[in-house]
A and B are shown apart, each in its own frame.
Chain A
Amino acid sequence: MSDTKTVVLVGVGGQGILLVSKVLSELLVQNGYDVKMSEVHGMAQRGGSVSTQIRFGEKVSSPFMGSGGADILLGFEKMETYRFLPYLKNVGTVIYADATIPSAPIFSGKKAYPQGLDAEIEKTGRSLRVPVTEWGAEIGGANYQNTVLLGVLTKVLGIGYDQTEAVLLAIIKERFHEKNKKALSKGYEFAKRQ
């Protein structure tokens, strides 16, 4: 098989997964890779599960992989991270936020949010839990969790902070620049310490 690497991003509609996918794809293009990015639209905005895949290497064929194909699984929500564990390679890494968002069976009172997900995710052997919920207002709240994860991911992939910041700021509105810079560096520094 090829040298192509696969990052799978998962979460819930509205968590800003598409923005992170866009920034990462752009960064990889700037760094000379062939890149393909696959996203599923449609009903995702209505609170459904969302996933995108970014594949990069010298020459990429498929825009997405099936089970066991991800080098990195980036989870924006805990239950979604767990749901996508089958996509992870045996030697793959999980980076995930501690955020929990109830789905229909939960907010309609029929089921409780599942317990013990952290332990299940840790069983993969290579996982990094990013405490974005614990950080709360420190990172600017739930709206900036995606930027924190972008910081962690780019550090893990060996992409420079300045380059990441430049690409991110070029995409978002100026009045959000300061908060995003703060969230990005928080994620980047967190990954450095791991």
Chain B
Amino acid sequence: MAKALLSGNEACARGAYEAGVQVACGYPGTPSTEILESLAQYREIDSEWSINEKVALEIIFGSAFAGLRSLATMKNVGLNVAADPLFSGAYLGVEGGCVIISADDPGLHSSQTEQDNRYYALHAKVPLFEPSDSQETKEMMKTAFEVSEQYKIPVLFRMTTRVCHSKGLVELGERVEKTPTVYHRDLTRFVATPARCRVHHGELEQKLKALEEWSNETGLNFIEMGDPKIGVITSGIAYQHAKEAFGSRASFLKLGFTHPLPSRKILDFSRKVEKIYVIEENDPFIENHVKALGIPVIGKERLPLCGELNSEMIASRLLGENVSGREITEEKALPRPPVLCSGCPHRGVFYELSQLKDTVITGDIGCYTLGSAEPLNAMDTVLCMGAGISAAIGFERAFKKIGRTSRVIGVIGDSTFFHSGITGLADAVFNRSQITVCILDNRSTAMTGHQNNHGTGLRLSGKPATEIEIRDIVKALGVEHFYEINPNDLAGLKALLKETAALEGPVVILAQWPCALLKELPPQDRSKYDLPQSRYTVQEDKCKKCKKCLTLGCPSISFIHGVGSRIDESTCKGCSLCYQVCPFHAIQKRGDRNV
């Protein structure tokens, strides 16, 4: 059979394809995004982005009730959004296989929490799979669908950044089509009323008992005997690091199915080895269970709760083998934080927001979170998806209560507005909040790699979508003060922010301009935006070295001591913000000298 070098995400999609999955959805979020993108290449599968993770999970519960193999993908915090259907869905159970992928992010490469979503399996009472590399991911995905169907229960499939974004060789198989069962209404099964759910709860506990038995038997939980002096119990990517650190100097109990945990197999392993280490990233999920079985183990007293593991850390903390890397000095390795790109349409809004006095700015999740960074520093809070609007409501109510008159401005992106901003804005209208909401619509879900969303007019499959206009939503909610503006128009933004400051009730400013990195505009946008063709340049003799242009934080502008500002024309996108802020007209369009 052919082999291919696949990332965990690609392998996950391949496994679902081979398992005959028919309906798939999700919401983009690093490190999970490429799973659904990769599934979209298989035409046999109906794969589409959903408006948020809760909707995605509800959709696949619907299609799994209908008897089809169904898959939802999301990042760690996405499962928080989808938690509601997860819990009741576990009670109701499913007919077709139902697999929920949670892509966790130990080390917080691109998330706001390091949460260990294995606890969701425990809490919602669903089975849990934990692959450790691409090959395992692909194979385990097939087993996950089988278990889900056999026990009629949704299953959680937990990956982590290093499994998702590491490539390894994977043996490819064929797709096996699964004939769905014929759906019939059965009032005792899928209607979550208290009376029925009392029964469902009992049934769910029975399923978990049976699944613990399966956990003891499955080959996904296996023992590899090496030196019996040390026994290692581990799962996920931690297994790969532990193998690297110990090699044959230890015996392993490798757990691929971690809820319900295989108590009998764990006890059996503990009798075969002398000293036991439990090696897992973040929380002591396995460790607590093993300790509760009365087995003395070493785990989190030596290994960290925070951050990722690696083999050097394991070797150093458990074997006392220290590898000393070379030392470097911080002043020679200056920070390189992510920044708003050259030509980013968010920059203009954050520049004008940064100029406002006595203002609280509540931000949200997306590229525009970078408006919080130097030199713009135009943000007070970022809580979670949607809170750009709702936290603003909270600030305004708090300030009103204590008589503080500061202005409160919420900032949110297009995809995030669709995801969970609409409800917050409805609340602002209903309760007559005195806030200003800036919706930064860059015509894409940019941060996760330019996915289409409900405002772009295209679906994941490339088929046309019904474009939902943000302005229509805002107006339908009853917002009286609604304005639209080009975010590259600094004077217009400044005036608009000033004139709306004292208006009663919520103000909404929609700033629309395409992301500067978008390779291709959605069809309906092509005639709408006149994208700049010229680049800008600094006329050295006119530059007074005032550094005003540097306050934009544009990576195309740099400052050379004794010379002045310089624009890198190979990266300049021609947004003209620097031209607009330069007090000495030293910045001009290339070729437009002496204007």
Contact = CB atoms under 8 A, between A and B. Distances in A.
Interface of A: 1-2, 4, 12-13, 25-26, 29, 34-49, 60-69, 79-80, 82-83, 85-88, 102-114, 116-117, 120, 124, 142
Contacts of A40: 109, 161, 165
Contacts of A111: 334
Contacts of B240: 61-63
B534 interface: no
B90 interface: no
A31 to B, nearest CB: 13
Interface string B301-343: 0000000001111000000000111111001111111111100
Q: Which of B30, B165, B247, B324 has its CB near the most chain A CB atoms (within 10 A)?
A: B165
Contacts of B336: 12, 47-49, 79-80, 83, 103-104
Interface string B209-242: 0000000000000000000000000000100110
Given A2-B244, A66-B311, A46 B338 contact: yes
A82 B247 CA distance: 31
Given A35-B5, A41-B30, A63-B166, A108 B553 contact: yes
B555 interface: yes
Given A35-B169, A142-B570, A61 B243 contact: yes
A93 to B, nearest CB: 13
Contacts of A85: 325-326, 328
16 contacts: A1-B247, A36-B166, A40-B109, A45-B517, A46-B341, A62-B240, A63-B237, A68-B323, A83-B336, A104-B555, A106-B334, A108-B553, A109-B550, A109-B559, A120-B328, A142-B570
B547 interface: yes
A35 B334 contact: no
Contacts of A2: 244, 247
Query: What is the interface residue range for chain B against chain A?
Result: 35 or more
Given A61-B311, A62-B310, 17 more contacts: A34-B169, A41-B165, A41-B449, A47-B336, A65-B311, A66-B310, A66-B323, A67-B312, A69-B311, A79-B336, A86-B325, A103-B336, A103-B337, A104-B335, A106-B558, A107-B555, A108-B553
A174 to B, nearest CB: 18
Contact of B328 (A36, A43, A82, A109): A82
Nearest to B311: A62
Interface string B171-193: 00000000000000000000000
Interface of B: 3, 5, 30-31, 109-110, 133, 161-162, 165-169, 237, 240-241, 243-244, 247, 310-313, 323-328, 331-341, 367, 370, 373-375, 447, 449, 517, 547, 550, 553-555, 557-559, 561, 570
B324 A68 contact: yes
Given A35-B168, A40-B165, A124-B326, A105 B334 contact: yes
A116 B333 CA distance: 11
B334 A114 contact: yes
Contacts, number: 179
Given A25-B167, A39-B165, A104 B325 contact: no
Contact of B109 (A29, A42, A106): A42
Contacts of B370: 46
Contacts of B313: 66
B551 to A, nearest CB: 8
A33 to B, nearest CB: 9
Given A36-B168, A48-B338, A88 B326 contact: yes
A107 B373 contact: no
Contacts of B167: 25, 35-39, 63
Contacts of A117: 332
A42 B110 contact: yes
Contacts of B162: 38, 63-64
Contacts of A82: 328, 332-333
A13 B337 CA distance: 11
B564 to A, nearest CB: 10
Contacts of A87: 325
B543 to A, nearest CB: 13
A47 B334 contact: no
B244 A61 contact: yes
A46 B339 contact: yes
B250 to A, nearest CB: 13
B339 A79 contact: no
Nearest to A63: B166
Given A47-B555, A82-B332, A112 B337 contact: no
B247 A62 contact: no
